A and B are shown apart, each in its own frame.
Chain A
Amino acid sequence: MNFEELKEVIVDTLGCDEDKVTEDANLMEDLEADSLDIVELHMALEDKTGKKISDEELANLKTVKDVLECINKAA
């Protein structure tokens, strides 16, 4: 998954402004995602990539870049 693809999923699930989604944007602080938004994003990413991400891994991710690295690392 590349940054543009991830951005699309984030905009779609969080309903945030496209230009706010930068690599360094913090999901909770800058994109104002709450815990339910994170769950929705988690499921959308799994659906899109067919990969499994554990809740524990996802809980430690702060920025868009973190998410991208995590997905591309996941089996």
Chain B
Amino acid sequence: MKYLDELLGIKYPVIQGGMANIATGEFAAACSNAGGLGLIGAGGIRDTDSLIAEIRKCKSLTDKPFGVNIMLMHPLADDFAQIVIDEKIPVVTTGAGNPGKYVDSFKAAGIKVIPVVAAPILAKHLENLGVDAVIAEGTESGGHVGEMTTMTLVPQVVDTVNIPVIAAGGIADHRQFDAAMTLGACGVQVGTCLLASNECPIHENYKAAVIKSKGSDTVVTGRIAGTPVRVLKNSMTREYIKKEKEGADKMDLEKFTLGSLRRAVFEGDTKTGSLMAGQTCGQLKEIRPVADIFEDICQNYEKVKAITIGA
């Protein structure tokens, strides 16, 4: 089995999740410089010029590999796909859907394609289309989530495909990393634990809310509208869930959340903002440098590798 660090030519087998509005070019560069794979999250980027600017910024700050995450529900997803080809980005991850239609053009451009999947069936389909690896992301994670847990999803994806599987969702320290590798993963993707890093460009109030939160403080909004998103509970989520139960239609609910992630990230509005976070929030106790977080996560890597090789 090929491990993620070998596959991507990086120090630690860890990908930084492509968090919309949070994973800027500067943050991605910081994560790549710290030894993981940094990702620019295109999900919150509003126009093509801004994505190009973030990519150039990242290139200016690191000589290590980095990638771009394309959120497939984004109205500019087609344009963003073309930009990553033009800018010769080495790795692309995709989220929130089936990236099948882009795979051929990415492969032709020599880009490593690593979609996020929340079900074994999609992993199988994408393997047939020729993707390089998949990120199996369980519902413990923050932001857009599926139904299966990491504990059930990762081994089932591993059994279904012959390409490397990266585990995501519920991983924030070495215990969960070791468990993920035991489930058959070749590496991990993390997001929530990086919210509690010095380099993360979110508002201080957002970081403080993550540090203060308990593991049971997250909730999933949008299950009814078909866009489930895990966030920290606050006045916004209470109101949203009330509206959902009252049968508010999709458009109404969308208006309700419009701009809420930006309010959380940039303005530090912890009451009406959407504080996306996964269930690992309860184990984060301090703000640390990204390099320390990666080192902690991977501290048993060599030992775990010795056990899991050939498994």
Interface residues, chain A, CB within 8 Å of chain B? 34-36, 38-40, 42-43, 54-56, 59
Q: Is A56 within 8 A of B101, CB to CB?
A: yes
A72, B280: Cα distance in complex, Å: 49
Partner of B125, one of A34, A43, A56, A59: A43
Q: Is A36 within 8 A of B101, CB to CB?
A: no
Q: Is B125 within 8 A of A39, CB to CB?
A: yes
Looking at the assembled complex, report how far the CB atom of A25 sits from the nearest CB atom of chain B, in whole angstroms. 19
The answer to whether B119 has its CB under 8 Å from any CB of chain A is yes
Partner of A56, one of B97, B100, B124, B226: B100
A43, B101: Cα distance in complex, Å: 15
A39, B226: Cα distance in complex, Å: 17
Q: Is B100 within 8 A of A36, CB to CB?
A: no
Tally of chain B residues near chain A (CB < 8 A) = 12
Contacts of B226 in A (CB 8 A): 34
User: How many residue pairs, one in A and one in B, have C-beta atoms under 8 Å apart?
Assistant: 26
Q: Is B121 within 8 A of A39, CB to CB?
A: yes
Instruction: List 17 contacting pairs A-B, 8 Å CB cutoff, sorted by A.
Output: A35-B98, A36-B119, A36-B121, A38-B98, A39-B98, A39-B122, A40-B121, A42-B125, A43-B121, A43-B124, A43-B125, A43-B128, A55-B100, A55-B101, A55-B129, A56-B100, A59-B101
| Interface-central residue, B98, B128, B226, by most chain A CB under 10 Å | B98
- Beyond the given pairs A39-B122, A55-B101, A56-B100, 8 more chain A to chain B contacts, judged by CB atoms under 8 angstroms and listed by A's residue number, are A34-B226, A35-B98, A38-B98, A39-B125, A43-B121, A54-B101, A55-B98, A59-B101
Interface of B, secondary structure class, is helix
Q: 5 closest A-B pairs (Cβ-Cβ)?
A: A55-B100, A56-B101, A55-B101, A39-B125, A36-B119
Contacts of A42 in B (CB 8 A): 125
Looking at the assembled complex, report how far the CB atom of A42 sits from the nearest CB atom of chain B, in whole angstroms. 7
Closest residue of A by beta carbon distance from B120: A36
Interface residues, chain B, CB within 8 Å of chain A? 97-98, 100-101, 119, 121-122, 124-125, 128-129, 226
Looking at the assembled complex, report how far the CB atom of B93 sits from the nearest CB atom of chain A, in whole angstroms. 17
Partner of B97, one of A35, A40, A54: A35
Contacts of B122 in A (CB 8 A): 36, 39
Closest residue of B by beta carbon distance from A55: B100
A42, B97: Cα distance in complex, Å: 15
Looking at the assembled complex, report how far the CB atom of B82 sits from the nearest CB atom of chain A, in whole angstroms. 15
| Interface-central residue, A36, A38, A54, by most chain B CB under 10 Å | A36
A38, B97: Cα distance in complex, Å: 11
A42, B98: Cα distance in complex, Å: 12
Looking at the assembled complex, report how far the CB atom of B30 sits from the nearest CB atom of chain A, in whole angstroms. 34
A40, B160: Cα distance in complex, Å: 13
Looking at the assembled complex, report how far the CB atom of A11 sits from the nearest CB atom of chain B, in whole angstroms. 17
Contacts of A56 in B (CB 8 A): 100-101
Looking at the assembled complex, report how far the CB atom of B169 sits from the nearest CB atom of chain A, in whole angstroms. 17
Closest residue of A by beta carbon distance from B226: A34
Contacts of B97 in A (CB 8 A): 35
A38, B101: Cα distance in complex, Å: 14
Contacts of B129 in A (CB 8 A): 55
Contacts of B119 in A (CB 8 A): 36
Looking at the assembled complex, report how far the CB atom of B258 sits from the nearest CB atom of chain A, in whole angstroms. 23
